[in-house]
Amino acid sequence: MSGENGYLSEPKGFATAAIHAFQDPEQWSSMAVVTPMVASTTFKQYGPGNFKEFEYGRSGNPNRDVLEKCLATLDNAKYGLCWSSGLGATMGIASLFKAGDHIICGDNLFAGTSCLFGKICTKLGLQISFVNESKIESAIKENTKLIWIESLTNPTLTVVDIPAIAAIAHKHNVLLAVDSTFVTCYFQRPIDLGADLVVHSLTKFMNGHTDVIMGVTITNNKDLYDQLKFLQNSMGIVPAPFDCYQVTRSIKTLALRMKQHMKNSLEVAKFLETHPKVEKVLHPGRPSHPQHELYKKLTSGCSGMVSFYIKNAALEQSQRFLTSLKVITLAHSLGGYHSLAALPSVMSHGAVPEDQRRVLNITHNLIRLSVGLEDIEDLINDLQQALEKVRILL
Ligand SMILES: *Cc1c(COP(=O)(O)O)cnc(C)c1O
């Protein structure tokens, strides 16, 4: 169903679930309204092997448990598991498979994910193919077990058609995993669109305060959940209770934050589109994005991600722009309340060979912004003054 601006309608009950789901104060003896922090690494048993709910901090912790259940609810799914990072969550999913199994990955994944699949999983005997999202079906083989895509790719913000790829996956009896870090469960629920597994790096918009590294896997499939829970414990890729406490707090404002990220990033994109020194702006929420209509069909809005090309800028001029920014911070990562800027050709994709970077349109004049929650006038003034410092031929 389409809501305002042709997007899907906003998820009903989302903010209420973020605040209340699995957090009834009556479940704690203290009746604390905020879920109490439990740092204990072990839990008393009534008799040997006879314990109440938790046994040992690696296998389960009350703060992790609340967060996992709440996050699953927000993704409109049954089961969530938290891992010590987004890549930890990815490693958990990769570990569902065995040597000789084949995994198809999108060809422009988050650099850490490409490295994990391409350099580590291959060493463990998994066969990995990196394939453009439009050519996935032709890459499916007898031993293909998993397709791994990102709902919005980094840094060129290409929209991936999850229902179309889910149909291909299921026709061939292959699982589909979607990394939805750039969009979040506030704007898109990949399980509803046909994915079997969802991953978020909670480090980004979901926690949104740039002070926790964590990941989550979400599924409706009990068998996958049981296997992943075994791996989470056995591989020891678990988050700290305090970090779970922090993320549980942060997601209470996810709905509010995402609305403001959307508003600010759209304003920034609009400003950049009219600037004479900007060649092209990439923002899936703007009609100028070639897949804007598809994006509106798959989501209820857009996050803070905007990429743009400075006209005729060589590396030096892009560096000049980035070091001239005063409010926006030059740094890795995204999704926090601080606005961040990055030069993907040097930073996230610095290790990608230049010819491959050219294929992906990741040139030295491509800037990626994660638009935060500052006042929009200050962000636009900052971009304006930094663009003034760039000396280029127009
Ligand atoms: C950051 C990120 C990851 C990895 O998450 P970490 O929490 O840093 O391990 C995976 N996918 C995407 C799209 C990301 O942006």
Q: Does some domain include residue 43?
A: yes
Atom of ligand 1 nearest to the CA of 334: 15
Ligand 1 within 6 A of CB of 87: yes
295 lies in the same domain as 207? no
246 lies in the same domain as 258? no
Atom 6 of ligand 1, nearest CA residue: 86
Q: Is the pLDDT score of 383 beyond 70?
A: yes
Q: Last residue of some domain: 202, 227, 253?
A: 253
Q: Last residue of some domain: 253, 277, 309?
A: 253
Q: How many domains does the structure of the chain reveal?
A: 2
CATH number at residue 28: 3.40.640.10
C-alpha 32/C-alpha 146 separation (Å) is: 43
**pLDDT category of residue 263 using cuts at 50, 70 and 90:** very high
Tens of pLDDT along 37-80? 999 999 999 999 999 999 999 999 999 999 999 999 999 999 99
pTM: predicted TM-score of the whole model, two decimal places: 0.96
212 lies in the same domain as 167? yes
184 lies in the same domain as 280? no
For residue 1, the model assigns a pLDDT of 43
Q: Does some domain include residue 210?
A: yes
Distance 220 CA to ligand 1 centre (A): 22
For residue 351, the model assigns a pLDDT of 85
68 lies in the same domain as 53? yes
197 lies in the same domain as 67? yes
User: Beta partners for 59?
Assistant: none
Q: What single letter denotes the amino acid at residue 55?
A: E
Candidate from 120, 203, 303 with most ligand 1 atoms within 8 A of CB, to mutate: 203
229 lies in the same domain as 347? no
Q: Does some domain include residue 380?
A: yes
Q: Does some domain include residue 394?
A: no
Ligand 1 within 6 A of CB of 181: yes
DSSP 131: E
pLDDT, the chain, mean: 96
Q: What single letter denotes the amino acid at residue 171?
A: K
Tens of pLDDT along 154-183? 899 999 999 999 999 999 999 999 999 999
Q: Is the pLDDT score of 284 beyond 60?
A: yes
* Residue 375 neighbours by CB under 8 Å, 6+ apart: none
For residue 112, the model assigns a pLDDT of 93
Q: Is the pLDDT score of 283 beyond 90?
A: yes
* Tokens 């040992």, residue located: 56
C-alpha 363/C-alpha 342 separation (Å) is: 12
* Overall average pLDDT of the 177-196 stretch: 98
60 alpha carbon, distance to own chain's centre: 24
Q: Does some domain include residue 249?
A: yes
216 lies in the same domain as 361? no
Atom 1 of ligand 1, nearest CA residue: 201
Tens of pLDDT along 3-26? 666 788 878 899 999 999 999 999
User: Which stretches of 109-217 are DSSP H helices?
Assistant: 111-115, 136-139, 162-171, 184-187
155 lies in the same domain as 300? no
Ligand 1 within 6 A of CB of 8: no
Tens of pLDDT along 204-261? 999 999 999 999 999 999 999 999 999 999 999 999 999 999 999 999 999 999 999 9
228 lies in the same domain as 261? no
Distance 91 CA to ligand 1 centre (A): 12
Q: Does some domain include residue 393?
A: no
Q: Last residue of some domain: 197, 222, 253?
A: 253
CATH number at residue 283: 3.90.1150.10
* Overall average pLDDT of the 108-113 stretch: 91
Q: Does some domain include residue 42?
A: yes
Is the link from the previous residue into 155 a cis peptide, with omega within 30 of 0?
yes
Tens of pLDDT along 352-375? 889 989 988 999 999 999 999 999
Atom of ligand 1 nearest to the CA of 89: 9
Dihedral sign for Cα 13, 205, 302, 92, please. Answer: negative
Q: Does some domain include residue 299?
A: yes
**pLDDT category of residue 153 using cuts at 50, 70 and 90:** very high
For residue 231, the model assigns a pLDDT of 98
C-alpha 374/C-alpha 184 separation (Å) is: 20
Distance 211 CA to ligand 1 centre (A): 14
270 lies in the same domain as 186? no
Distance 334 CA to ligand 1 centre (A): 9
Ligand 1 within 6 A of CB of 108: no
Domain assignment of residue 173, given as a range: 4-253
Q: Is the pLDDT score of 186 beyond 90?
A: yes
248 lies in the same domain as 271? no
